[in-house]
Amino acid sequence: MFAGMLALCDFEKKEVALTDNGVIISNFKVSILVPYDEIKEFRLGDSKATVGSIIVTFMSKTPFGNKIYFKPVVDLRETKRLLQLAGVRLEGGFNRV
């Protein structure tokens, strides 16, 4: 399973990919894999600044911080389907997608 995505985190572009094992985050120099069981929540952005974004909060700090925001390059319904297939628990707003 793979969904290429572009993320904004600290205003630097990141690439985010959903895999069977977790979320891969890359700043084009360093890549990390965060397993799904180390992710606290996935939720939809609900403010003017985050509308259309997915917010991923991690259980502990990663080299990219405790949280990332990204805008999927695939449809939100497809993103939701991929996350559900991976067994990820979705929070805030995903029930409307």
pLDDT (tens digit per residue) in 37-48: 999 988 888 777
* Stated pTM of the model: 0.76
- Mean pLDDT score, 66-91: 82
**pLDDT band for position 11 (50/70/90)?**
low
Pick the CATH number of 3-96 from 2.30.29.30, 3.40.50.12140, 1.20.120.1200, 2.60.40.10: 2.30.29.30
Residue 47 burial by CB count (10 A; 0-12/13-18/19+): exposed, middle or buried?
A: exposed
Tokens of residue 83, six digits: 């996350």
What distance in Å separates the CA atoms of residue 67 and residue 35, rounded to the nearest whole number? 14
pLDDT score of 12: 67
Average pLDDT estimate for 73-97: 78
Per-residue pLDDT at 55 exceeds 90: no
Q: Could you tell me the two tokens for 90? A: 């979705």
